Amino acid sequence: MMPIQSHKLDITLSSSDRHLSQTIRRYMSRTRGLREYCERCLKTDRWNSNVVLMVVDAAFTSIGLNYFTSVVPHVVKFEDKFVATGQIKTLKDLGAVRLNNVECVWKNRRSWQAAKEIAAYLHLYGLAQHLNNDKATLRHWAKNSSLEHWRDDPVGKITGIGITTFQYLRMMGGVDTAMPDKIVRRVVKEILNSAGSNLPTTDDMDLVNTIHYMAKISGCRSIEICWMTWLIQREGDMIRMDKYDKLLSRI
């Protein structure tokens, strides 16, 4: 696989940082098309630029099921049944939906409640900021949100929305950052151990900041390192990058 294109570095690296950077690059070289997927995320163009689907995706993902085999098929089912038919077109629509009407797609009520509350808040946020569409709203919120103060953010206060889902929404809103989930933590620790680095990864905030530092010294972006950790995971005889190649081009 061809290595992902790097950004030009404007910093002088210590020998330990050079070693870490080389290790990061070896892991990144296992992927292909990663920059394209991450660009689409940062441009808020996932799910055909439909923010309703991005919010539903984030809410479904929050309960920890397999993303490709469980979350994505159910988001597609929701899209076919409610979005394509025009029943739920906007954040306002999603915020007002009756749970009994959508549970035929996904049984977990906590996910739906989280999706409703995110959508309702973002809709009101967009109105307050005089924004004219959902995409502009998500991007404005993400740009003005803060990792350090995520617990104080109205989205962060929603039941079922932890730092990982909060970060996921920020990424889809255009912020180059990372999600501190268990796979990301495990692979980042593996990279650091291989490079002999003792950068912190136990605390969620420390992990995200460590990824930001890894991005700085490697010329990659934080989002690319984050996505890489998911896509190099093996399922059977294939890594996810290869197994879900056609699906990745859609989402």
What does the pLDDT look like over 54-82, one tens digit per residue?
999 999 999 989 999 999 999 999 999 99
pLDDT confidence band for 6 (50 / 70 / 90): very low
Q: What is the pLDDT of residue 5?
A: 45
Residue 4 maps to a domain: no
Q: What is the arithmetic mean of pLDDT over 38-61? A: 97
Residue with tokens 């896509």: 231
Residue 112 sits in a domain of what CATH number? 1.10.340
Q: What is the arithmetic mean of pLDDT over 84-113? A: 97
Q: What is the pLDDT of residue 11?
A: 58
| Domain assignment of residue 85, given as a range | 50-172
Tokens encoding 247: 């699906």
Helix (H, G, I), strand (E, B) or coil at 148: coil
Q: Are residues 117 and 25 in the same domain?
A: no
**Number of domains the chain contains:** 2
Q: Which residues of 168-199 are buried (b: 16+ CB within 10 A; e: fewer)?
A: bbbbbbbbbbbbbbeebbebbbebbeebebeb
Q: What is the arithmetic mean of pLDDT over 234-247? A: 91
Residue 5 maps to a domain: no
Q: Are residues 87 and 167 in the same domain?
A: yes
Residue 251 maps to a domain: no
Residues 6+ apart with CB under 8 A from 28: 3, 4, 34, 218, 220, 224, 225, 228
Per the prediction, the chain carries an average pLDDT of 94
CA distance linking residue 138 with residue 50, whole number of Å: 11
Q: For 188-235, write each residue's pLDDT tens digit.
A: 999 999 999 999 999 999 999 999 999 999 999 999 999 999 999 999
Residue 103 maps to a domain: yes
Residue 250 maps to a domain: no
**The domain boundary residue, chosen from 172, 196, 222:** 172
Residue 9 maps to a domain: no
CA distance linking residue 108 with residue 209, whole number of Å: 32
CA distance linking residue 52 with residue 112, whole number of Å: 12
**The domain boundary residue, chosen from 122, 156, 172:** 172
Cα 194 from chain centre = 26
Q: Are residues 119 and 212 in the same domain?
A: no
Q: Are residues 95 and 112 in the same domain?
A: yes
3-state helix, strand, coil in the chain (%, to 5): 60, 0, 35
Residue 2 maps to a domain: no
Residue 190 maps to a domain: yes
Q: What is the pLDDT of residue 215?
A: 98
Which has the closest alpha carbon to 39: 210, 240, 176? Answer: 176
Tokens encoding 30: 């296992």
pLDDT confidence band for 250 (50 / 70 / 90): confident
Q: Are residues 108 and 182 in the same domain?
A: no
